[in-house]
């Protein structure tokens, strides 16, 4: 896939739908095929240390021959976003109350200059990429989604965490007026997630602002959500308003709520079952037969080294 360079991208062109029509010309083969709903040929071999590679060499691995992009309708109407209800159809129905502009992101903790960033300034000038990723929910369903956004590492480099920072924590907006689910105590609010800093710096991790070539819909986490394709979907925190750098491992919402079922790492792993169901298989939305779940969701070549020597049963 082709990557637009900062010089090509005015900050106003992060992903608004109207401008995407022009941007489509810049999407490489895989993205174009994927957006057309076609299978993308598997060609890319990976596993080269990220820092040694030019941006254009760090495209996400492509899909297998038999994998198709999930329909936009399914991806935007079958959601988990408990701030708007616990049913899969609730977020689409209820998320219209979220105001996504203006949007500020507070950056604090172990960082050179703690600051409240306007979202546009936070992302200004960063390369916008198109990435077609598998999306595997811990509930054993999955999708394939074309995202648009920036690399998380590019944002982190802009923020300049101090050498003692080892983790990065993300927080969702807390506003029961806009987020009716927060008037219930179904989860501890605000929703929080976190990554080890080396995971966050991996080139596959992104902050998405768009999907299917359009501004990301509210129900999918507008205006900024985390996408970490080798982890279960609950790590993909939506509507981010806070980024904090820490030395110690932050607490996370689902791990706090039900620690025996949802770990900090949440790497997709077919050999470690959820206590109540198998993780060896998954239902790809739009397909009839269940698929085998792949180690690290099919990104083992790229991310496996992050976990070398770790007991993935203990650190689930
Ligand atoms: N982020 C927030 N703030 N609130 C949530 O309830 N749900 C998570 C994750 N991010 C959630 C969230 C879960 S469980 C999943 S599977 C994914 O979002 C779903 O993303 P999708 O609706 O775009 O498929």
The DSSP-derived string for 71-123 is PHHHHHHS---GGG-SSTTHHHHHGGG---SS-EEEEEESBSS-EEEEHHHHH
Sign of the torsion formed by the C-alpha atoms of 151, 112, 169 and 237: negative
Give the pLDDT mean for 233-238.
98
| pLDDT tens column, 258-293 | 999 999 999 999 999 999 999 999 999 999 999 999
Average of per-residue pLDDT values in the chain: 86
Give alpha helix (H) positions in 225-314.
253-257, 300-303
Give the pLDDT mean for 229-237.
98
Residue 292 DSSP SS3: strand
Which domains occur in the chain, in start order? 15-307 (3.90.420.10)
Q: Is residue 62 very low, low, confident or very high in pLDDT (cuts 50, 70, 90)?
A: confident
**Phi, psi angles (nearest 5°) of residue 233:** -55, -25
Answer whether residue 37 shows pLDDT above 60.
Answer: no
Give the predicted TM-score (pTM) of the model: 0.85
Residue 178 DSSP SS3: coil
- Of 43, 47, 42, 45, the closest CA to residue 64 belongs to 42
**C-beta of residue 169 within 8 angstroms of C-beta of residue 106:** no
Answer whether residue 131 shows pLDDT above 50.
Answer: yes
Q: What is the pLDDT of residue 61?
A: 80
Q: What is the pLDDT of residue 59?
A: 62
Cα(79) to ligand 1 centroid in Å equals 7
**C-beta of residue 154 within 8 angstroms of C-beta of residue 136:** no
Answer whether residue 21 shows pLDDT above 80.
Answer: no
Give the pLDDT mean for 102-111.
98
Least confident of 13-17, 98-102, 175-179, 221-225: 13-17
| Cα-Cα end-to-end distance for the chain | 32
| CA 165 to each of CA 108, 156, 157, 251, 263: distance values in angstroms, whole numbers, following the listed order | 11, 11, 12, 15, 21
Q: What is the position in ligand 1's atom list of the atom closest to the CA of 82?
A: 6
Token pair 């790492």 is at which residue?
A: 265
Cα(220) to ligand 1 centroid in Å equals 7
Share of the chain above pLDDT 90, in %: 80
More confident residue, 141 or 65: 141
Share of the chain above pLDDT 70, in %: 81
Give the pLDDT mean for 108-133.
98
Least confident of 25-29, 78-82, 228-232: 25-29
Verify cis geometry, omega within 30 degrees of 0, for the bond prior to 190.
yes
Give the pLDDT mean for 220-246.
98
Q: Indicate whether residue 82 lines ligand 1 (CB < 6 A).
A: yes
Q: What is the pLDDT of residue 29?
A: 33
Answer whether residue 194 shows pLDDT above 90.
Answer: yes
Residues 6+ apart with CB under 8 A from 73: none
CA 123 – CA 248 distance, rounded (Å): 27
Q: Is residue 40 very low, low, confident or very high in pLDDT (cuts 50, 70, 90)?
A: very low
Q: What is the pLDDT of residue 90?
A: 98
- Angle 175-176-182 from CA coordinates, rounded to 5°: 110
Cα(232) to ligand 1 centroid in Å equals 10
Answer whether residue 254 shows pLDDT above 90.
Answer: yes
Answer whether residue 57 shows pLDDT above 60.
Answer: no
Q: Indicate whether residue 234 lines ligand 1 (CB < 6 A).
A: yes
Choice from 75, 81, 284 to test ligand 1 binding pocket (greatest atom count within 8 A of CB): 81
User: What does DSSP say about strands 192-196 and 167-172: parallel, antiparallel, or unpaired?
Assistant: antiparallel
| pLDDT tens column, 41-53 | 333 222 333 343 3
Q: What is the pLDDT of residue 170?
A: 99
CA 21 – CA 274 distance, rounded (Å): 42
Report the chain's C-alpha Rg in angstroms: 18
Residue of the CA atom closest to atom 21 of ligand 1:
79
Alpha-carbon dihedral 188, 211, 219, 105, rounded to 10 degrees:
50
């Amino acid at each position: 896939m082709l990557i637009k360079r900062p010089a090509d991208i005015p900050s106003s062109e992060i992903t608004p739908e109207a401008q995407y029509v022009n941007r489509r010309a810049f999407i490489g083969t895989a993205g174009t095929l994927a957006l057309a709903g076609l299978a993308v040929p598997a060609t890319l071999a990976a596993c080269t240390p990220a820092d040694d590679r030019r941006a254009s060499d760090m495209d996400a691995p492509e899909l297998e021959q038999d994998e198709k992009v999930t329909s936009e309708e399914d991806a935007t109407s079958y959601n988990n976003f408990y701030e708007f209800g616990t049913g899969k159809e609730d977020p689409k129905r209820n998320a219209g109350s979220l105001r996504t502009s203006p949007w500020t992101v507070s950056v604090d903790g172990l960082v050179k200059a703690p600051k409240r960033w306007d979202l546009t300034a936070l992302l200004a000038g960063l390369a916008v990429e198109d990435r077609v990723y598998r999306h595997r929910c811990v509930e054993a369903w999955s999708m394939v989604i074309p995202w648009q956004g920036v690399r998380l590492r590019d944002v982190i480099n802009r923020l300049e965490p101090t050498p003692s920072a080892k983790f990065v924590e993300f927080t969702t907006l807390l506003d029961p007026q806009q987020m009716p689910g927060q008037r219930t105590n179904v989860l501890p609010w605000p929703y929080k997630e976190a990554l080890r800093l080396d995971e966050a710096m991996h080139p596959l991790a992104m902050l998405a602002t768009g999907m299917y070539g359009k501004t990301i819909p509210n129900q999918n986490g507008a205006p900024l959500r985390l996408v970490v394709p080798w982890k279960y979907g609950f790590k993909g925190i939506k509507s981010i308003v806070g980024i904090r750098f820490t030395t110690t491992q932050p607490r996370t919402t689902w791990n706090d709520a039900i620690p025996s079922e949802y770990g900090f790492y949440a790497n997709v792993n077919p050999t470690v079952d959820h206590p109540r169901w198998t993780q060896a298989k998954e239902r790809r939305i739009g397909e009839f037969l269940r698929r085998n779940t792949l180690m690290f969701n099919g990104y083992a070549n790229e991310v496996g080294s992050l976990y070398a020597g770790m007991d993935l049963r203990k650190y689930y």
